[in-house]
Structure 1
């Protein structure tokens, strides 16, 4: 609260009086005139101002008018010795409700203060409720959008059109396309939940800024991949859509790198479609574009050889990678539309199911019976049945790999222990045990409680410790023998792992007379 009165004794008395009351009000300043009151109100933004009306220079009424120009939320309690109706009318027109006369009783002042404070607290309570409701609504809308995106990726949305989406969003939608945004950590460690949340929030906000002419719906950031639906306004031309997609593809990775130096952003963007039921095709194109490192465009993904598409699809199922299977299925279907018609389309899927059944049998998995097709089955229906079958097959492979992870990871550990002195990478080991790098990394951390990089580092440092007991070997020799090419980097890693520099550690494990003879540089 700010107290404004040209009489210093009145100000001091009011300040002491209010400060000693039970009201939770703090007096933050005093002003002898209207000009000073305006200045203090600007600097301190009080909730309530006790304002004397009759003051030299700028009076209370004029001060209220000026303060109202830059702060409409301040409550005023007007105080005056003049029982004049004209003054009361003037301040009431300014929205002032409280008006008390000098000399005023203690109870009059406290009652007036309590009413003003009560209005402020009630206003804040309502604002907080509105804020909370808005947050809940935003969260609910976000969840619904994520469900839409998930349904789109497996082509399970058939009963909603762009017109209906447009009505929900309050805009006219003519086209839509899918973008896939994948984040790659560069430190070899699994990111924390906090890091993932920061990445997600940054990416979502950056897309809203970059996609000025589209409405975006961001999916969940699963496996560090986030699908995003772009809904294009009716007035946008295809050339404008293409330009917007290219701008996102070119600018966002650099901005992401500047914000998060230890991670990289990869982007793939599919073609725009004018039917919502075709958006799953845009998704498959986006995944393929990202993997091929191609620039985002509004052109369809390049066709693959039918046999290559089939082979890649089978490999994705074998890896247990659901996202990749859906992407590869899209490419496979696109090639079938080009190569096969009618009965040939159905026959191709039946032959694919035979290959999948054999592969699952080799894993020792008893698979469910593949779907049967009738002669009149449409391609869309065939694809829908096939997706359900493929998703079940992938889940069975994932379960199998999880149950047999011990043997696979033991094989990986043997490989690491044999090749740790080389420039070994996670991708090399994952390929050796026939797992995708991401799945291998996740499995390794879950089973051993440490990342692949931490495990390799642990082996190298332990080996270096043993080598240091041999006084005939120089520190550089030991550094190179355990897989490090830079002695300075080796020294930093060693100290981080052991708490001692290599030289300090070697001195501690070698006899004093021997250590002095060894070149520790």
Structure 2
């Protein structure tokens, strides 16, 4: 994604350029500046790839700004815009390496055409500095998923030794994950074939003028035995290969039933949540990557981001309890705002790796205390705190902690030295003590408030735990309030 800065002192022009930029693939608005000095500050701070620069702006004019930064950022592209077509300005712009000179008002067609030429220039420049392995990875991971310029396609053909001007994209999903490389080798016996893993699936580009039937026959011969799902795109010229990629992905999606996909996604989310804080971090990262690759591979990126917001909200709550009624801990980051602002898969990959690492560290904090408490036990305790007025059973808390009742029972005995029922009883009586001291409720109301429907039974349990019935506890507390401690009398 190429970052763009717009510099102009007229607000309508800034809004117009920003609006037209929304319809351009591979470009995103980085910022706006209304003066030469503001433009200088943003250029040094943000380092955009492309700057639309008005000449007549307050402070330093546009050409002076370019002259100031030209040597420090020689790769930065500048497009000049001005209301007047003047030869002297064009002459000043030439030695500064200005990419284009546009006269206002600039039509949308001219604006987008300029962006197309910039994109080709940036892609070609990137290719020149890459190794062959980098070029192949960029071609399969990025280039065939968007419209390519003729110049960029010509460079890819040359760098990758592609014999044909056309090709077909195939996507495979195999139960045997070790077979992808073998299939690529078999396809290469007859055609120039490029292969990489893409979102957990095998991505193959076959260079040649193949019809769909030929590609299907070729693929079927390579697949052999075992369950498989595949999508085959149409045959297109290089600049339009994104159509083949889109068709292949759509066909692959349609081969899996929605119910099957939902169930698989649900199972993976449950497994990931169960593992937080209890499973090796590297295994967790692998499970997380498998899950998000599956989500991103099988739906539009916007929908995928919405699902990933939900996933991170669940994980944040599991690790921090940030969204529970009795939790005062804020979320470690704003998942919805940060995820929905991501532009593409690469941005998501970078963001999610750091964010998931933070959650793994947070989930492990409980086990780094002097008396470590496993995360399932911590989850069960939080569940009990939130539902203490209800008839909680061991199976309910175990379900909330996503472990078996027997395992949770053992955790209570090992870490708290009491059984599950006694733990709940102690927490309820603690709450009852607080209500007696701080509220004006009668004993019947307090019994109901802490989860006992029978006030007589509540009184019996209270006496068993504290050695006196709740009425006596309340009376002694009031007596203590009437007769302050001796040190308070001396202070008075």
| TM-score of the two chains, using structure 2 as the length reference | 0.34
Bigger Rg over Cα: 1
Question: Larger relative contact order (C-alpha < 8 A, sep ≥ 6)?
Answer: 1
TM-score, structure 1 normalization: 0.33
